[in-house]
Structure 1
Amino acid sequence: MSQLEIAAPEPRRWLMFAILLVGAFLPPLDFFIVNVALPSIQEDLGTASSAEQLVISSYATLYAVTLITGGRLGDLYGRGRMFFLGLLGFAAASLMCGLATTPWILILGRALQGVTAAVMAPQALASVQAIFPASERPLALSLYGAVFGLASVIGQALGGVLIAIDVLGMGWRAIFLVNLPIALLVIAFGIPVLKETRALHASKLDLVGTALSMLTLTTLVVPLIEGREAGWPMWAWLMLAAAPVLAVLFWRYETRLHLAGGTPVLAPAALKAPGLGRALLVALCFYAMGVFFLLLSRYMQGALHMTALQAGLIFLPFGAGFLVGPLSVPPIRRMLGDYVNPVGMGLEVFGFLWLGWLVSVTPTTLAPPLTALTAILFLIGFGQGLALPTLMRMVTGRVAPAYSGMIAGITSATLQISTSLSVALIGGVFYTLLGEQATAASITHAFTVSVVCIAACLAVGAAVSLTLARQPAQVPEASAIRSN
């Protein structure tokens, strides 16, 4: 099998991309689908609250720390190959979760899901650079954003439906076992279709750099995810203090390896692309709203005494906006050009400030007007849906296709860290203001201040994005494809 440079677009590129999008759909789906199943899992397996937290955090942590490695594996050994290996491993881990008889088997299965999802997920985003001409990338990224958003929105609803209908008496186990037929179908139909893409001059994986990158991310992500729940113990602060030290060691090692002619997992040359640092800063601000779903549910159920079902239905306008937003990017981009991302994030800022004002002027014992609340949540979802695919283009379009997997992993990892920071910092603001007496008034006040904090973070991202809109990414046209 030979490698060659292709001038003409791959004729089956849209079918290939549709297969790879499963890798973008399943990881967020499995993150959100578990939330509604936790009570059923606790009742069946007798999990303690700490174990329940690990069911979620083991997945989130391993997913975040493995994403960069997963993306780089696709560059070096083939994105299709890593996609199918990741999907097969994800299915095996899902089977382990679905058959778990103890909490610790379930937690181990969730950890393996996180690792294999991180091998599978970056390949779709990386392949946008490799298989699509520049004219088609905006549409491909819009579809990527729509699928990602759809998975996030329907995850909790699907989990509730599967548990409610109790498929074949499986109860909560169905939320994991449903992944098996999906994986088998994709593997059966996808292997004959998916052509292999990889970097033209692939080398072996940088094992030392991989270990250092995962250790660095672990010392950052674990305390952010676990610290507040554990009461910020000494080990959390020590890990956070170690993170920048390890990051410096990691960067120095990668730089030396690059100068010696090796292939670092994090290529210094690619990371020096003009504007890339600012683009990643936008990504770091982007999921400042990651904690919003938790806080809105707390406000709806704690202050307004809504049921879990009522609180869940409140998110539907957001989901509708998130679905419409990415699909609206191509026509809006024709009007606004590279300013779509700051406009989308600006709509989110306006929506959160509007929400904070609306809640603050509504009597504590009453729910905000449904019409206004629906409009606000749709606006926030629409703004995020506009901003997500354009953010992906803003980052990935600044590096050569040979580094597509690496930059896809870095982007996804940055978004995961953004979510963790949101939960740790803005969630910390909420619970500090809430105090020990969780009254309707204290919940409302804490929610209002937290929403303004989210708006402030997004405003920083929008401002940085505005500077990048004046410095468009120069997307290289070279793609590497491996013929089978």
Structure 2
Amino acid sequence: MTTLTRASEAAAPDTRRWLALVVLLTGTLLPPLDFFIVNVALPAMRTGLQASSDVSQLVISVYAAAYAVTLILGGRLGDLYGRKRVFAGGMVGFGIASAWCGLAPSPGMLVVGRLLQGISAAIMAPQSLASIHAIFPASEKNRALSLYGATFGLASVGGQLLGGVLVSASPWGLGWRSVFLINLPIIVFAVPAALVLLRESRAERSGRLDVPGALLLAAGLLALVVPLIEGREHHWPWWCLALLILSTPLLWAFWRYEKAQELAGGTPLVLPSLLAVSGLRRSLASTFFFYSLAAFFLVFAVYEQAGLGHDALAAGLAILPLGIGFFLGPLCGPRIARRMGSRTAAAGMILEVLGLAMVAALACAGAPSWLALPLFLIGAGQGIALPALVRLNVDHVETRWAGLASGLVTATLQISAAVSVAMIGGLFISIAPDGASARDVRLGFAVASLAVGAALALAAGLSWKRQET
């Protein structure tokens, strides 16, 4: 914990904070749930809208890119204009975008709806983490953040299963549209509850939104994220490489502009002085390597179907031990945190590395029936590490900058996912391209699992050093 003064923590805790947490976790659940649930429903969408494979890929990538690019802006909006207000507004926007997607008459309209969903999700999601940081006293943060981490596990499991159930059952004849419209009753209850239960919090010194900074950052992140999402699918065309090269000067220009804004006494989108805290830089670097596990989900699905010959339903069920571990791991987090302190995140990641090494060994040995145990270890380690790593990041900043820190953390996770899928997914495909033998698929899966394990080992090393207080 930093020695910075936190006036809000010194005040009496909000008596409705645990009821408010339920509402906040709804905003945490919906964005990842809509990512996983759409993955399962894509074949039905393509058939129903007579869409090409390129359009169906856009349904995923547009949402992911818009979400990643807007997260820092979303966190900053909460700091400036009030997290309760921005959270409720983002949730209303997410509901409108979900209705747009569910009623879309054409592939193009569905892609536009997904763009709006990604933007509104990025406005809503950072307010959950920032509000937890603002309303819970230090003694209760580990428990609250553990529930925050468990929510991601619930999204990963629930998204896969709920998507399959909704598409198969087709309630009221809605088919794939139900995966979007299911959000509406949740939001109808959650928005009024948020207005009643959440306590307003914001930065002490208000200011204007840094529009030029937001535009520069969006341009730089789009130039970085879009090629990483689309490049592998399109075999790395020239425009992907050109955008990647362009991202460096754009992000450099953004950084220079933000430094000038802070020196002039303005209100920059990102405070350069905040990133001067060495502990925050280390924990953000650890966060970047931590979410390399995103690539594991991709290669595991291919391994199950092309390497083991399982159908899509069996492949979805095979990942359940990881999801169960991801759900249960955070519930054990507070007890582990009492023993390990700031090294809890590293301990969880070490557990993941062990599980990934076991998965690679079993894949090479041709013993898939034993995968449940290491998958559970991977999920439990992820569930233990995520809330602990989040706290390592947000504890380095004052409560008034909690929205900015939350946006930075979530954006780092999203960019990490895009980078890891591009690089580790590319490594897997180079070993096991389309039409590869089952043996090559198993080998590619083992190598990719070890690559994910190496990234997590690096993340554990970065977070192992005791954080500055």
> Is TM > 0.5 for Structure 1 vs Structure 2?
yes
Name the counterpart of 1:142.
146
RMSD across aligned positions (CA): 1.2
Which residue of the partner structure matches residue 422 of structure 1?
420
**Relative to structure 1, is the Cα distance of residues 360 and 216 closer, same or farther in structure 2, using a 3 angstrom cutoff?**
same
1:431 equivalent among 429, 432, 438: 429
Correspondence 1:298 to 2:302: yes
* Residue of structure 2 equivalent to 1:353: 357
1:164 deviates by 1.4
Deviations along 1:239-269, one digit per CA (max 9) or x if unpaired, are: 1111121111111100110011100010112
Among 110, 115, 132, the residue aligned to 1:111: 115
CA displacement at 1:284 relative to structure 2: 0.5
CA contact (8 A) 2:153 2:324 kept: no
State whether residues 223 and 244 of structure 2, in contact with CA within 8 Å, keep that contact through their aligned partners in structure 1: yes
Q: Deviations over 1:200-224 (max 9, x none)?
A: 1111101111111111111110000
Matches within 5 A, 1:175-324: 175-324=179-328
Residue type of the partner of 1:446?
G
Query: What per-residue deviation string (whole Å, max 9, x for no partner) do you get for residues 64-93 of structure 1?
Result: 000000000000000010101100000000
- What CA distance in whole angstroms lies between the structure 1 residues aligned with 2:368 and 2:296? 19
Deviation at 1:471, TM superposition (A): 2.3
Do the aligned residues in 2 keep the contact of 1:274 with 1:398 (CA within 8 Å)? no
Query: Does the 8 Å contact 1:270/1:403 carry over to 2?
Result: no
Local SS of the residue matching 2:292: helix
Is 2:63 the counterpart of 1:67?
no
Say whether the 8 Å CA contact 1:270–1:400 is kept in structure 2.
Answer: no
Match of 2:404 in 1: 406
Q: Aligned equivalents of 2:278 and 2:246: distance in 1?
A: 29
Give the drift of 1:156. Answer: 1.2
The residue aligned with 1:79 is 83
Structure 1 counterpart of 2:467, one-letter code: Q
Deviation at 1:321, TM superposition (A): 0.5
Letter paired with 2:138:
A
TM norm structure 1? 0.94
Aligned to 1:392: 390
Superposition misfits of 4+ residues, deviation over 6 angstroms? none
Q: Is the 8 A contact 2:152 2:327 kept in 1?
A: no
Distance in 1 between residues matched to 2:289 and 2:356, nearest whole Å: 14
The amino acid across from 1:346 in the alignment is I
Match of 1:455 among 433, 436, 453: 453
Give the superposition deviation at 1:436. 5.2
Give, in angstroms, the shift of residue 395 of structure 1.
Answer: 0.6
TM, length-normalised to structure 2: 0.97
Compute the displacement of 1:447 (Å). 1.0
Work out the number of aligned pairs and report it: 462
Q: Deviations over 1:385-411 (max 9, x none)?
A: 000000000111101111100110010
Which position in structure 2 is the counterpart of 1:325? Answer: 329
Cα distance between partner residues in 2 of 1:311 and 1:156: 10
Is contact 1:94-1:109 (8 Å) kept?
yes
Give 5+ residue unaligned stretches, structure 2: 1-6
Q: Please list every run of 5 or more consecutive structure 1 residues that lacks an aligned counterpart in the other structure.
A: 363-367, 475-484
Match in the other structure for 1:365: none
Q: Give, in angstroms, the shift of residue 424 of structure 1.
A: 0.3
Give yes or no for contact 2:392–2:467 (8 Å, CA) kept in 1. Answer: no
